[in-house]
Structure 1
Amino acid sequence: MHHEVMSVHIDIAGLRREQVAVVPSPLAELGMALHALSEPGHHPGLQGWVTGVTARLDPHLADRMCEADFLWRTTFSDLFMPFAGIPGRSTLPGATLADELDLLDKLTDEQFVDAALEFTCSLPYCSHGPDALSDAEVRRRALDLAAARGPRQLRFSERLLADPPRIRAWLRQFLQDCDAAFFAEAWSRLRHQLAADTRHKTDLLRHKGLAEMLAAVSPALTLDEAAADITVDKLGEGRTTTGDGGLLLVPTSLGWPHLAVLHRYGWQPVLHYPVGSPELAAPPTLEQLALRMTALSHPVRMRMCRHLARSAYTTGELAQVHGMTAPEISRHLAVLKKAGLITTRRRGRYVLHQLDVTVVARLGSEFLEGILR
């Protein structure tokens, strides 16, 4: 089972505690705001806010929002975290959106174009390869993939490759207009929650250490101190290293359930994590999730669940109903039990099994959370 679950690894060999920083980023939060506006289905808790903002949006700004929505809709572009790309790998997010837009201006054209083309999935992300500005073959492939995603993406990519400064100016102006239209007001509210979370995590780091702090950030993060490795339980594969730079943690109020890892080659690793999640129950690991779905997908166990959902039954009763032997039924019950799907209780000399309906009911949202994490 283990080898099937993918994950992202951050090598932190030689990382000192003072090189770990937890800092909110206004630009990253604006990116999450744009994502929530274009994918409200991912964020049921924000539906009220999304509806309010959308109703007040100037039609011209709404059109421009559609022009480049692939920068935040399907993948969350690293352009929203330009601090990570600054040489030296130790730059922190800016205190204001204006500061962060200045950091965005500091990225080279190559960095900007690479990060903007990430939606085509064409460019080497974890490793270093030729870039689309200087290499005709990489450029051709990027445009092919952009065309497959639709005419808007193709137009944007062509303009980007032809004249990066023009697109950079366009994006900067667009982000400033979003700030004026809706983000400044949201940020003035959100930044207090983010500042409080930042203080809490920084205290944990200082007094309890990195492992405890990461555990508080998300159950999907584990630190192996001996191997100097942080594992992020995600349906994606990748590795990165803090090298001689630092590790950044950026909280988001609008981002639940997405836990994102910036692991672009040569950039500072960033963990972008949600605070104040509406679902306080710890999400299951991807392995548990796979175990539950596999357990339920067997036709015999599916039929058994019909009975176990309605009432509690003994192994003998189930064997009789399904025309099977008690040992066969026991084997199926063991699979369901291992996956945490049934509860068992004793009544006198009988052992009764019942389906845990709440766990089954949560599977859909847990699956979504797992694949969107």
Structure 2
Amino acid sequence: MSVSIDITGLTPERIHVVPSPLAELGMALHALSEPGHHPGLQGWATAVSARLDPCLADRMCEADFLWRTTFSDVFAPFAGIPGKSELPGATLAEELDQLDKLTDQQFVDAALEFTCQLGYDTQRETDPLSDPETRRHALELAAARGDHQVRFTMRLLDDPPAVRAWFRQLLEDCDEAFFADTWSRVSHQLAADARHKTELLRRKGLKEALQAISGAVSLDEQASRITIDKMAVGHTRTGEGGLVLVPTSLGWPHLMVLHRYGWQSSITYPVNSPGLAAPASVEQLTRRMAALSHPVRMRLCRHLARGSYTTGELADAHGMTAPEISRHLSVLKKAELITTRRRGRYVQHQLDLGVVSRLGSEFIEGVLR
């Protein structure tokens, strides 16, 4: 599974690496609502939550489906502006002005994306603001998500300008309450990362820059296609527009691809943190989970966690034939869960405890990516 971006005809001058205060505010709101996704930010989240005005906290809960489960494209309004060449603003105020430039239909589509699943990377022929059947379907889908989603959806469909004004005021109040201070601390890191990636683009090209962003992002230069390894399927193309790479400090492990139909392509990626291993691919993760699902291989792992053993020793210990053990070891080896080394005439196998210890976090990262 993956999301791909067709970059046929994309020229270097239309590729930009730009931090986004609004995107980072979205990440901050997400971390506050889902601190379990971001163990490294739990201290920050606890401190911010403790000093939040209760009224503001309630208002944040009212709209949290825009950032709790995943991230609405309302946090990337630059991508929806006609021409597909706009960049994120330098300040939150500039980006909120960009948000105001979106049409009511664009705002409604982006806001209803995760509450109502009205489609994403394909063109819709109907508009919930004008088509009664689409409106009914949107409310029906929202009902499955809860009463407050229904209330929000009804308000949005009945009076988009009022909801947009309410949402802008909410973000401005969040900025005053906690985000301005957070942005002043993280913006320098993001600017430095953007400069570094821009220099990589200039000196070594897009492939090197994408590899530096994440091991989950790759470029097939022959096919003019960027592939982002995610537990999702999607496709878009840059066409006459650009490609915007947005670094985030608060976003790890999330790697997000904006591939909404008609919007500019964008990838939001977490800046590198010391000690983080390269992310496992979805295929790797699937192999590892499948390898560990067999009871015999689980018993072999328990044995191999304690030391190095030959195939013959394992066969004797488990009452199986050497070919049977070899087949199971082959699966574990293909999943990169064991290491093999030769000592004289003998080949010994041992569990790679480093890989196994990361498996839980790799699974979390894979499903949250």
* Residue 347 of structure 2, aligned match among 337, 351, 360: 351
1:131 CA drift (Å): 2.1
Give 1:114's aligned amino acid: D
My pick for the range that moved more, 360-369 or 299-308, is: 299-308
| Contact 1:45-1:278 within 8 A present in 2 as well | no
The yes-or-no answer on 1:19 pairing with 2:11 is no
Distance 2:218 2:131 in 1: 39
Distance 1:199 1:348 in 2: 51
> Which residue of the partner structure matches residue 120 of structure 1?
115
Distance 1:329 1:201 in 2: 47
Cα distance change of structure 1 residues 163 and 278 upon mapping to structure 2, 3 Å threshold: farther
Deviation readout 1:249-306 (Å, 9 max, x if unpaired): 1110000000000000000011000003354211111111111111111111112112
| Contact 2:214-2:279 within 8 A present in 1 as well | no
* Residue 158 of structure 1, aligned match among 154, 159, 162: 154
1:358 CA drift (Å): 1.9
Percentage of matched positions with identical amino acids: 75
| Contact 2:113-2:119 within 8 A present in 1 as well | no
> Which residue of the partner structure matches residue 90 of structure 2?
95
| Contact 1:122-1:141 within 8 A present in 2 as well | no
Give 1:344's aligned amino acid: T
* Dislocated runs of 4+, deviation >3 Å: none
1:121 CA drift (Å): 4.7
My pick for the range that moved more, 181-190 or 131-140, is: 131-140
Give 1:283's aligned amino acid: P
Distance 2:93 2:342 in 1: 64
The yes-or-no answer on 1:239 pairing with 2:235 is yes
The yes-or-no answer on 1:337 pairing with 2:341 is no
> Which residue of the partner structure matches residue 147 of structure 1?
143
Give 1:10's aligned amino acid: I
* Residue 73 of structure 1, aligned match among 39, 57, 68: 68
* Residue 177 of structure 1, aligned match among 167, 173, 197: 173
CA RMSD of superposed structures (Å) = 1.0
Distance 1:328 1:23 in 2: 54
> Which residue of the partner structure matches residue 3 of structure 1?
none
The alignment covers a number of residue pairs equal to: 368
Alignment of 1:160-309 (within 5 A): 160-277=156-273, 279-309=275-305
For the residue of structure 2 that corresponds to 1:239, the secondary structure is: strand
| Contact 1:9-1:240 within 8 A present in 2 as well | yes
TM-score, normalising length: structure 2: 0.98
Distance 2:351 2:23 in 1: 42
For the residue of structure 1 that corresponds to 2:239, the secondary structure is: coil
Cα distance change of structure 1 residues 158 and 121 upon mapping to structure 2, 3 Å threshold: closer
| Contact 1:215-1:222 within 8 A present in 2 as well | yes
TM-score, normalising length: structure 1: 0.97
Uncovered stretches (5+) of structure 1, i.e. residues with no partner: 1-5
Distance 1:300 1:43 in 2: 35
Distance 1:122 1:327 in 2: 50
1:309 CA drift (Å): 1.4
The yes-or-no answer on 1:55 pairing with 2:50 is yes
My pick for the range that moved more, 218-227 or 131-140, is: 131-140
Cα distance change of structure 1 residues 219 and 121 upon mapping to structure 2, 3 Å threshold: farther
> Which residue of the partner structure matches residue 361 of structure 2?
365
Distance 2:315 2:70 in 1: 49
Distance 2:363 2:211 in 1: 21
